[in-house]
Amino acid sequence: MGELKFSDNYSDLCKQTGVDAGFQFEFYCERCNDTWRTDFESYTGGQAAGWLGKAAGIFGGVLGNVDDAVEGLAQSGWGKARDEAFKKAVEQAKRHFHRCAKCYQYVCDRCWNSDKGLCLNCAPDAEVEIEAARAQGEVYAAGEKAALEGIQRGKKMDVKRDRQLVCPKCKTETHGAKFCPECGFRMAGKGQCPECSAEVSSGAKFCPECGHKLI
């Protein structure tokens, strides 16, 4: 496996100062996001500065002003030590990650197709794809069958009847019911004028065709 730079799939967990100062890095798979963390490596300069700072806090003015000394001790050699620690971390990470030659992402062993030398995004496992395709086919066929069943049911529905979807009295949604489910008001439907036989809506007071009084 070639050189790995890990420029965008790691977190720097290093701490420069304090009694727990040290180096640690966390790398993650760019396919499944599982992480792998390096062993913690102490940074003695930062830890010594941390203990010195604690001592200064305990003894107060006895040790004098040691802030500058503590900061200088922590910073001394930090950059070089951190770089060396990162190089070691990358060498360790090489045993846990692979770089795909097609998409250039770093992936873990579980997301690596060793037979193809590519990640599973670029070279999916054939058996997995077969099962996935079969499941998709079942869903598609079931949807097609359900659509045909819906067509048959739709053919039996009365589509000529006018439906009033909101009750004009209490403003409740009726979903096409003949009576309002909230107040019982009779929804609009087509009737016939006794004078001219024209169609009139239920609840109309006068025939819209001849003006005959209906109520």
pLDDT digit string, tens, across residues 56-82:
454 454 444 555 555 555 566 788 889
SS3 (DSSP) at 150:
helix
pLDDT digit string, tens, across residues 183-196:
887 776 566 677 78
Tell me how far apart the alpha carbons of residues 175 and 149 are, in angstroms, rounded to a whole number.
Answer: 22
Average pLDDT over residues 170-187: 83
Task: Report the share of the chain in percent with pLDDT over 90.
Answer: 42
Determine the pLDDT at residue 175.
Answer: 83
pLDDT digit string, tens, across residues 19-48:
788 999 999 999 999 999 999 998 877 665
pTM of the predicted model, to two decimals? 0.53
According to the per-residue pLDDT averaged within each range, which of 43-57, 140-154, 172-186 is highest? Answer: 140-154
List of E strands, the chain: 10-12, 22-23, 25-28, 35-37, 41-42, 97-99, 106-108, 112-113, 118-119, 190-192, 199-201
Domain boundaries, the chain: 10-126, 154-215
Q: For 191, which DSSP code?
A: E
